[in-house]
Structure formats: C-alpha cells, structure tokens
C-alpha cells in the first residue's frame, strides 16, 4: 500500500504536499518524494525513510511550483531506497503510483528507451511509456488513453506533464479521491490526506 497526493494551485504547493504526506504515512513509510513543475521543468526530491527526512531536504533546497505530486511508499517491487522511491520522472512527465502493473516486464521490453530505467519498480515504466507516446506525436489525451489501454492491473496514478503544466489523475481498480477547494484542487489515495484542505471530496 502506498499514498498519493497531488495539488494544483495558484500558489506554491510543496509545503502542503509534505503535510498531506504526513497524514498518509500509515499507507507507507519506507520512502517518500515529491515533484513540482516550475518554469516548464519537473523538479523532484525523494529519499528513503520517512516524510520528516524529505521535509529536511526541502528546507535546505525548496521546490518552486504551483503544481505537484507526492508519494509515500511501502515497497512491493524493489528494495526501499531513494532510486525506487516515487516520483519517477523523465524530462516530460513525472508519476506517482499506487497499485500493481502486472505487465511491466512486457512494457519494458517494448520501450524505445528501456536503457534509461534506473529503478527496480513496476512503476517507472509508466513514466517512460507515456513519454514514448508523447514523443510519437500523440496529444496528451490520446497518450493517456493509450497508456490506460496498455497497463494491466489495478492502479491509481498522479501525473505531471511539464510542457503543458498539467496535473492528471487516472485510476483502474484502486481508489483515488478528488478534492475541490478555492483556487486549489487535489488528488489523493484517500480522503484522509485531503481532509485538512477541503471538505468537498
């Protein structure tokens, strides 16, 4: 079990993402991370261990950006370490994932850029597969639909698209909540992480 948070706002989101991850630590605490978009670029920070360690990293080197995703992990594929921590990112997309991608080995075999994979997780393939579709010239909606057609298993995914400044949420089988607030909207693996920010879930 893992925890997901995503925030789209008109102000910086990294502090609220960290606070939400603290509420979600019961879902996973062997690693934590977040990614934001600022000036069209994805900036990720992640670590092994608890959210408190991530918070210290961000204190020393803050993340800018009004769009972001965060994750607390309970390892299923790959050991608990920084490389296997989420988010997983390319230059174009960053993802956080809860669930299992049953056909991830098959997907790796078909990737154009399989040599760029660093982690032992089933999750990293999502970022690279989606990047492949974008590189093929598909628009974001078609890329996401192709992604959903390809992935097998039960999952909830938060996605950042850097050049379009978008936060996208998709799910199949796994829970994913959406929260609505004033000048801020949210995604979360459950309502607990969203409750401090909005009652409209």
End-to-end C-alpha distance for the chain, whole angstroms? 21
Residue 75 has pLDDT above 70, yes or no: no
The pLDDT of 177-195, averaged and rounded, is 90
Confidence category of residue 140, pLDDT binned at 50, 70, 90: very high
Say if residue 77's pLDDT is above 70.
Answer: no
Mean of pLDDT values over 100-120? 85
Average pLDDT in the chain: 91
Query: 192: number of CA atoms within 13 Å, CB side?
Result: 12
Per-residue pLDDT, averaged over 108-136, amounts to: 88
Dihedral (CA of 135, 141, 146, 150) sign: positive
Judge whether residue 147 has pLDDT over 90: yes
Pair 27, 74: CB distance under 8 Å: yes
Contact 110, 145 (CB under 8 A): no
Cβ-in-10-Å burial (0-12, 13-18, 19+) of 146 comes to middle
Whole-model pTM: value is 0.94
- What is the tens place of the pLDDT at every residue in 4-37? 999 999 999 999 999 999 988 877 678 999 999 9
A 10 A CB-CB count for 10 gives 9
């Amino acid at each position: 079990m893992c925890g997901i948070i995503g925030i789209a706002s008109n102000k910086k989101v990294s502090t609220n993402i960290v606070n939400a991850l603290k509420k979600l630590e019961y879902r996973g605490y062997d690693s934590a991370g977040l990614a934001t978009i600022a000036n069209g670029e994805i900036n990720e920070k992640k670590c092994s261990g608890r959210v408190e360690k991530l918070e210290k990293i961000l204190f020393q080197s803050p993340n800018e950006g009004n769009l972001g995703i965060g994750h607390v992990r309970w390892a299923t594929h790959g050991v608990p370490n920084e490389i296997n921590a989420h988010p997983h990112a390319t230059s174009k997309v960053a993802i956080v994932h809860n669930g299992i991608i049953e056909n991830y080995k098959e997907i790796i075999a078909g990737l154009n850029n399989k040599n760029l994979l660093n982690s032992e997780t089933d999750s990293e393939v999502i970022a690279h597969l989606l990047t492949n579709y974008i590189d093929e010239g598909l628009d974001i909606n078609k890329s996401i639909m192709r992604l959903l057609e390809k992935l097998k298993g039960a999952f909830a995914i938060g996605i950042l698209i850097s050049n379009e400044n978008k936060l996208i949420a998709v799910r199949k089988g796994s829970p994913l909540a959406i929260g609505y607030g004033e000048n801020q909207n949210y995604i979360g693996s459950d309502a607990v992480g969203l409750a401090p920010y909005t009652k409209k879930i």
